[in-house]
Structure 1
Amino acid sequence: MAPVRIGVLGCAAIARHRMLPAFAAAADTEVAAVASRDAAQADALAKEYDCRAVHGYAALLRDDTVQAVYVPLPAALHADWVEAALWAGKHVLAEKPLTTDRDRSARLFELAGSLGLALMENVMFIHHSQHARVRQLVADDAIGELRAFQSAFAVPRLPGDDIRYRPELDGGALWDTGVYPVRAALHLLGPGLQVVGATLTRGTGYAVHTAGSALLRSPGGISGQLTFGLDHAYRNAYELWGSTGRITVDRAFTPPADHAPVLRLENRFGPREIRLDPDDQVANTVTAFVAAVHAGAAPRADCLAQADLLHEVLRHAGPMVSSAGWSQAGRIPHPGVALPECDGPSCAHS
């Protein structure tokens, strides 16, 4: 098949450093255009990929030669621009979280389905082979009956103008680092998880929550303890704890393509390390998106379950933060409505 022609809405860091190189390297995708509200910025980035520069996101959506779009904008802008892209007949790969409103996410998937378009949330770590190996170890009884799951993703303090600290762009730890342990729990424990407790904490001087934790329970009684934050010593890991052993995975969510994962298994036979071959989760994500485009649909169950869990974390955390991080919930724009734009250094999502 001919390569899928992809347009990129914005010049965010994750687009420049991860997704654009992956699209350009893949045989089944072609970077067709890069859009920015800053014409000079679009020109500079487009030259790197020998593609067309477009001034403004709406102009790119009007380009009939673009089959699919990648949306790396701040979380508050996802819903409106994803919907606009779907109405324009484009398949969509959108950065996580798809939206910060579970009902809006559900409506977007319904719209995509009605139009025969693929809508995929860009949670890349689930496409890394190390997690399939972990699931196989659990299925092979390497740690006995599963009892508990623990996961943490937190990063050190970022510059004060970073979008993660801006409430008007749906900043906050839950929408950034929090998505990873929540999705990991779904990926490894399966559906039906419930939030039984949660906290979100706003650090001194911040307008958004910068730390959080959640306690989950599976239908079978497995507990899940999740921790996330934006003002911590770096941590990026999960652990599965069973009746006879445990599996620990470091660098679980953002391993570089050349990283050789090491799974640490401790059970009745003693501790050992299982060394795996490197894998490129970004390239694997592009492959999965292309398959969804050709199928005219993308899997949605885990994305919607994730949205439900994020909503429940907010609800359990209480009224202090429950209204922060919601982007115009329930508002459905019609095609042709002018939408806000944001990209460039001040909106560089990574």
Structure 2
Amino acid sequence: MTALRFGVLGCAEIARRRMLPAMAAGPATTVTAVAGRDRAKAERTAAPYGAAAVHGYAALLERDDVDAVYVPLPAALHAPWVERALRAGKHVLAEKPLTTDAVDTARLLDLAKERGLVLRENVMFVHHSQHAAVASAVSRGVIGELRAFQAAFTIPRLPGTDIRHRPELGGGALFDVGVYPLRAALTHLGHDLRVLGAQLTGGPGDEVDTAGAALLSTSAGVTAQLTFGMDHGYRSGYELHGSLGRISLDAAYTPRADHRPRLVVQTRAGVEESLLEADDQVANTVAAFAEAVRTGGPPEEVSRVQAELLASLRQVAGLGAPGDHSPATAADSRVSSADSSSA
């Protein structure tokens, strides 16, 4: 089988630290080119993989030795470069969120389908086997009928120079860390979710939201409470509550490849802990993308649904149009109902 040849747009940390090593190590993938605005940085990033260093992103899209493009650029740059890559005939794996606008996300998914190309959003945690173990326990009725879902992903304060503090680049807690608990809710509750309430806030001097919370519900009344932020103590986990008990999982979103997850089930009978097998979600993600290209996998509709929910959450929180990334202040941020916000 011919290896899928990746070109990388940019030298972001996640590309250098996680994705490039996985692409180079995978039996079905290889790295052929790395593009950067800084030629020297592109050369340093490409060198360990014997890949070509390309000056400028557009030049990489013109190469005939690139089958697929990985886009780890700032979120606000995803839409234009994903579109250019698709129009150049390349499959695309783009960092999350796929775009910062639901209309752009839908348009790009439709474009990929129209051109017979694979477009995937790089939400890696869903490719870890621990989440299938949780889903299996729920489907077996271990905690009875599902009643509620709670999830949190919070990280410590980032340096002021970090791009995630820059509104013009699509920064903010919702797009950076809020995507994780939201996608976890979609994974375990399905796509039938609507936003009931939301709040996005920033501290003094912040130009983006650095904290947020949301309440969602399915049409059957199963609720999802989400918490996220990037000025917090570290927390990465979720719980599912049922009529007979609850299941909890820590290190849910960014576990190391050698981490053995601990699944905790609490019922009237007591607490049962299961130590699951370690899994490499980065390698799994790259392999799943390569397989989708090989088999002609269809667009993932979950990215469309997620984008619509992100837009709804912003609207309910009072942030207005997708291009407005300014946080609400502590005084004027609010929790409001979806019905009253859309009136």
Letter of the 1:170 partner, please give it: G
User: C-alpha separation between the residues in 2 aligned to 1:191 and 1:108?
Assistant: 20
Tell me, yes or no, if the aligned pair for 1:245 and 1:265 is still in contact at 8 Å. Answer: yes
Tell me, yes or no, if the aligned pair for 2:155 and 2:234 is still in contact at 8 Å. Answer: yes
Letter of the 1:279 partner, please give it: D
User: C-alpha separation between the residues in 2 aligned to 1:174 and 1:69?
Assistant: 25
User: C-alpha separation between the residues in 2 aligned to 1:319 and 1:22?
Assistant: 37
The normalised TM-score by structure 2 is 0.93
User: C-alpha separation between the residues in 2 aligned to 1:297 and 1:110?
Assistant: 14
User: What pairs with 1:238-257 in structure 2 (closer than 5 Å)?
Assistant: 238-257=238-257
Equivalent residue number for residue 294 of structure 1: 294
Letter of the 1:25 partner, please give it: A
Pair 1:114–1:147, CA change in 2 (3 A): same
Residue 297 of structure 1: how far off its partner (Å) = 3.6
Residue 295 of structure 1: how far off its partner (Å) = 2.5
The normalised TM-score by structure 1 is 0.91
User: C-alpha separation between the residues in 1 aligned to 2:71 and 2:321?
Assistant: 26
User: C-alpha separation between the residues in 2 aligned to 1:173 and 1:132?
Assistant: 27
Residue 204 of structure 1: how far off its partner (Å) = 1.1
Residue 325 of structure 1: how far off its partner (Å) = 3.5
Tell me, yes or no, if the aligned pair for 1:113 and 1:297 is still in contact at 8 Å. Answer: no
Tell me, yes or no, if the aligned pair for 2:319 and 2:325 is still in contact at 8 Å. Answer: no
User: What pairs with 1:57-206 in structure 2 (closer than 5 Å)?
Assistant: 57-206=57-206
**1:42-78 deviations in Å (ceiling 9; x for gaps):** 1111111111100000000000110001000000000
Residue 284 of structure 1: how far off its partner (Å) = 0.5
Tell me, yes or no, if the aligned pair for 1:246 and 1:265 is still in contact at 8 Å. Answer: yes
Residue 319 of structure 1: how far off its partner (Å) = 3.9
Pair 1:313–1:232, CA change in 2 (3 A): same
Equivalent residue number for residue 329 of structure 1: none
Letter of the 1:78 partner, please give it: H
Equivalent residue number for residue 217 of structure 2: 217
Equivalent residue number for residue 41 of structure 1: 41
User: C-alpha separation between the residues in 1 aligned to 2:29 and 2:321?
Assistant: 40
User: C-alpha separation between the residues in 2 aligned to 1:323 and 1:18?
Assistant: 29
User: What pairs with 1:21-36 in structure 2 (closer than 5 Å)?
Assistant: 21-36=21-36
**1:256-308 deviations in Å (ceiling 9; x for gaps):** 10000000110122101011010000011011100111133444211111111
Pair 1:323–1:5, CA change in 2 (3 A): closer
Letter of the 2:59 partner, please give it: A
**1:157-194 deviations in Å (ceiling 9; x for gaps):** 01101011001101000000000000000000011100
Structure 2 counterpart SS, 1:143 = coil
Tell me, yes or no, if the aligned pair for 2:180 and 2:253 is still in contact at 8 Å. Answer: yes
Letter of the 2:173 partner, please give it: A
Letter of the 1:41 partner, please give it: K
Pair 1:319–1:7, CA change in 2 (3 A): closer
User: C-alpha separation between the residues in 2 aligned to 1:44 and 1:230?
Assistant: 30
User: C-alpha separation between the residues in 2 aligned to 1:144 and 1:17?
Assistant: 41
Q: Identity over the aligned pairs, expressed in percent?
A: 60
User: What pairs with 1:7-18 in structure 2 (closer than 5 Å)?
Assistant: 7-18=7-18
Structure 2 counterpart SS, 1:174 = helix
User: C-alpha separation between the residues in 2 aligned to 1:25 and 1:214?
Assistant: 39
Pair 1:268–1:314, CA change in 2 (3 A): same
User: What pairs with 1:290-329 in structure 2 (closer than 5 Å)?
Assistant: 290-319=290-319, 323-325=323-325
User: C-alpha separation between the residues in 2 aligned to 1:109 and 1:323?
Assistant: 20
User: C-alpha separation between the residues in 1 aligned to 2:62 and 2:325?
Assistant: 30
**1:115-134 deviations in Å (ceiling 9; x for gaps):** 11000000000000000010
Coordinate RMSD, CA, aligned: 1.2
Tell me how many residue pairs correspond in the alignment. Answer: 326
Pair 1:127–1:319, CA change in 2 (3 A): closer
User: C-alpha separation between the residues in 2 aligned to 1:99 and 1:320?
Assistant: 17
User: C-alpha separation between the residues in 2 aligned to 1:109 and 1:69?
Assistant: 15
**Structure 2 unmatched runs, 5+:** 327-343
